[in-house]
Structure 1
Amino acid sequence: MSARPSRRWLAAAGALAAASLLVAGCTSNEPQESDDEATQAAQVPGGENDEPGDTVTIGFSAPAADHGWMGSITKSAKDLAAQYDDIDLKVADGTNDVNLQISQIEQFINDKVDAIVLLPFDGAALTEVAIKAMKAGIVVVNVDREFDDPTAARTTVLGDNYGMGISAGRFICDELGGKADAKVAEIAGIDSLPLTQDRSRGFADALGECGLSVSNRVAADFTVQGGEAAAANLLQAAPQLDAIWNHDDDQGVGVMAAIEAANRDEFFMVGGAGSKNVMEAIKADDSVLKATVIYPSTQAADGIKLARLLVQGKSMSDLVEVEVPRTIQLYAPVVTKENVDQYLPTAFQS
């Protein structure tokens, strides 16, 4: 999950369009006939991007899979690479040791891979070695946690932490229907991380649109144990609540345990990230869980696909632009009982 400053709720239209097209698979529709020669020249034949090309060797490094979302990041990347005969994926062991991750990238540089897809444990700490890779002629795709220097990567794939807060807040506003005295609580992740700060800022901004604010707030640590402890403290301090937003579905397992232990059900809860167990609870509609906000665990898979396009000299063929965009920010939709079947196939297991 991102550990860099925020993005606006409504990102530039081009970036959002690019994200949608990327998820669709970076392939185009059949070009339409046109008398405009300039338009014809800009079009790319349908399916060209997925046709086999020269083999691309990609080094991949991410933090340790110590929770469901991060585990899905690596699994999705491997699964995507396996779909292409022209991708040779080299996967480094997941690590939360910055120095070890730097050494992994150094090894990829020495091995002269064609591209590196990197979700850094610490974006600032991995910036220098990423720049070194770029200077060595290796395409670097930065995933989720941004480097300090934009020249450290050819392109960056991001989630939308500020947008998650906006989505959660607006959903809660809609559900509460203008109840002016509603009590809304927030269970955040790690407060020292910019991603948590961005989510909280977006949440506060969205609640402010309907005249509400956060009445009770606690922070956990993205773990089941941390979520349970934080939620227990929250519920003890707040005898009456109308809604809760929990930033992370992995820690939400513990949050739900605390709620059940306290025998509380007077409120509804919105999750964050998009785990399978939360989506199944939303579909069953038999608990306080009524929605979750997606933070895609497919970002590294998108990064693998982009690295292949970049090394093979291709573009995102549904765009007129002849180059892969420099930044792609994915959307943060709200999953409810009404649309959960659409999102279940991409859910991760907590």
Structure 2
Amino acid sequence: MPASPTLRRRLTLTLGTAAALTLALTGCTSNEAPPDPTTAGGGSTSSAPAPGAGGNDEPGEKVVIGFSGPAADHGWLGAINKAAIAEAGRYSDVELKVSEGTNDANLQISQVETFINEKVDAIVLLPTDGAALTDVAIKAMEAGIPVINVDREFSSTFAARVTVLGDNYGMGVSAGTYICERLGDQPDAVVAEIAGIDSLPLTQDRTKGFNDALAGCGLKVSNRVAADFTIQGGESVTAQLLQAAPKIDAIWNHDDDQGIGVLAAIDTAKRDEFFMVGGAGSKDVMELIKSGDSVMEATVIYPSTQAADGIRLARILAQGRVMGDLVSGTVPRKVQLYAPVVTKDNVDDFIGAAFTS
């Protein structure tokens, strides 16, 4: 949907005044201290600021942030909600209004409309359907309320001030690269893939990244099935996969929650000739990796901190602060989080922040 002239003007003004805001606000809200007026030159800005003083964690003007996400019917989504609420609770100057999680796009639209009517200062939104929530997000932006889009992108850039994403393509690349490192000298290795919901762009991106990485070492996916991000779906399609493939060298499962079912099917079939790489980074999977007593050898992180990052960015925007760790000082339009591989060698670095399936 094209943006209205009002919104275009607002975005233009925002960009045009960014430098002025940076100069005006850096002294009190960046990660550096303001110049010392007692230095020679009568407080000239040419003196180097002292690092480490002040910062965006310092209390500021009270702001109200609305948060809406899908129903927490999945371990990762539950962790998303929990982390967002916990992050808001860190700040005495933030009031968080949380809508009940829903998988009904129409209900979520009404929740956002309520936030607009209440004139909240910012909205953090993980849409149940990015395209369906685009129009109401634009409506919020046109009302002067910055929208922070989390995980599932809107269909218009005018619908959000900031978009915080995991890296689905990067997850596939990380998983494929790890398997290449383990099997790259075996051109006849049998690689299997257990995807999520094939109709979702995120699943398609994960598969593309996986195929691209495998191609780099001469491997390809020999057997592929798609589940539905549920335990039951994971178990069902894995049973089919194992029957169809009498020999497998490696499996990448896109999602650790559905991986509970995947592992159940593997145990039932009494198969252990392969190693497995998971996806998302659940605590249950990390414990299996740490134990060394499972086919589960690694998992690829898909951060459950995305909404928490959204809360932090919403507060910075609503209070007119700047990001002192960036030279420009302005909040980026898009933030994409990294997808590292967790193995037995580094699991202790990640397990403390992992979510429970």
Q: Mark yes or no: TM-score above 0.5.
A: yes
Determine which of 325, 340, 344 is the counterpart of 1:333.
340
Pair 27,330 (structure 1): closer, same or farther in 2 beyond 3 Å:
farther
Determine which of 257, 271, 274 is the counterpart of 1:267.
274
Contact persistence 1:224–1:255 (CA under 8 A)? yes
Determine which of 33, 44, 59 is the counterpart of 1:52.
59
In the alignment, residue 128 of structure 2 is paired with which amino acid?
Answer: F
The structure having more radius of gyration, on CA atoms, is 2
Determine which of 250, 253, 272 is the counterpart of 2:260.
253
Contact persistence 2:184–2:219 (CA under 8 A)? no
Partner residue, 1:316: 323
Structure 1 stretches lacking a partner, 5+ long: 1-25
Greater relative contact order (Cα < 8 A, sep 6+): 1
What is the CA–CA distance in structure 1 between the aligned matches of 2:47 and 2:217, rounded to whole Å?
A: 45
What is the CA–CA distance in structure 2 between the aligned matches of 1:324 and 1:286, rounded to whole Å?
A: 45
Partner residue, 2:207: 200
Match status 1:159 vs 2:166: yes
TM-fit CA distance, 1:45: 5.9
Runs of 4+ in 1 over 6 A off after TM superposition: 29-33
Partner residue, 2:190: 183
* SS in structure 2 of the partner of residue 314 of structure 1: coil
What is the CA–CA distance in structure 1 between the aligned matches of 2:34 and 2:321, rounded to whole Å?
A: 17
What is the CA–CA distance in structure 2 between the aligned matches of 1:325 and 1:52, rounded to whole Å?
A: 22
Partner residue, 1:90: 97
Q: What is the aligned-residue identity percentage?
A: 69
TM-fit CA distance, 1:37: 5.8
* SS in structure 1 of the partner of residue 133 of structure 2: helix
Partner residue, 1:72: 79
TM-fit CA distance, 1:175: 1.0
Determine which of 265, 275, 280 is the counterpart of 2:287.
280
* SS in structure 2 of the partner of residue 102 of structure 1: helix
TM-fit CA distance, 1:178: 1.4
* SS in structure 2 of the partner of residue 229 of structure 1: helix
* SS in structure 2 of the partner of residue 142 of structure 1: strand
In the alignment, residue 313 of structure 1 is paired with which amino acid?
Answer: G
Partner residue, 1:14: none
Deviations 1:122-173 (CA, angstroms, capped at 9, x unpaired) = 0000000000001111111000111111111111100000000000000000
What is the CA–CA distance in structure 2 between the aligned matches of 1:47 and 1:211, rounded to whole Å?
A: 52
What is the CA–CA distance in structure 1 between the aligned matches of 2:209 and 2:296, rounded to whole Å?
A: 21
What is the CA–CA distance in structure 2 between the aligned matches of 1:237 and 1:327, rounded to whole Å?
A: 42
Higher deviation after alignment, 99-108 or 46-55 = 46-55
1:117-136 superposed matches below 5 A: 117-136=124-143
* SS in structure 2 of the partner of residue 117 of structure 1: strand
Pair 32,282 (structure 1): closer, same or farther in 2 beyond 3 Å:
farther
Pair 37,47 (structure 1): closer, same or farther in 2 beyond 3 Å:
closer
* SS in structure 2 of the partner of residue 141 of structure 1: strand
Deviations 1:153-204 (CA, angstroms, capped at 9, x unpaired) = 1111000000000000000000114111000000000000000000000000
Partner residue, 1:211: 218
Contact persistence 1:252–1:271 (CA under 8 A)? yes
Contact persistence 1:31–1:45 (CA under 8 A)? no
* SS in structure 2 of the partner of residue 280 of structure 1: helix
* SS in structure 2 of the partner of residue 290 of structure 1: strand
Determine which of 89, 108, 112 is the counterpart of 2:115.
108
Partner residue, 1:143: 150
Structure 2 stretches lacking a partner, 5+ long: 1-28, 37-43
TM-fit CA distance, 1:39: 9.2
TM-fit CA distance, 1:314: 1.2
What is the CA–CA distance in structure 2 between the aligned matches of 1:233 and 1:31, rounded to whole Å?
A: 64
Partner residue, 1:7: none
Deviations 1:289-336 (CA, angstroms, capped at 9, x unpaired) = 000000001000000000000011112221111211110000000000
Deviations 1:261-293 (CA, angstroms, capped at 9, x unpaired) = 000000000000000000010011110000000
Deviations 1:187-234 (CA, angstroms, capped at 9, x unpaired) = 000000000000000000000000000000000000000000010000
Contact persistence 2:32–2:55 (CA under 8 A)? no
What is the CA–CA distance in structure 2 between the aligned matches of 1:103 and 1:45, rounded to whole Å?
A: 43
Contact persistence 1:59–1:116 (CA under 8 A)? yes
Pair 292,47 (structure 1): closer, same or farther in 2 beyond 3 Å:
farther
In the alignment, residue 340 of structure 1 is paired with which amino acid?
Answer: V
Deviations 1:26-76 (CA, angstroms, capped at 9, x unpaired) = 98477999xx967958x9863420000011100000000001000001000
* RMSD of aligned alpha carbons: 2.1
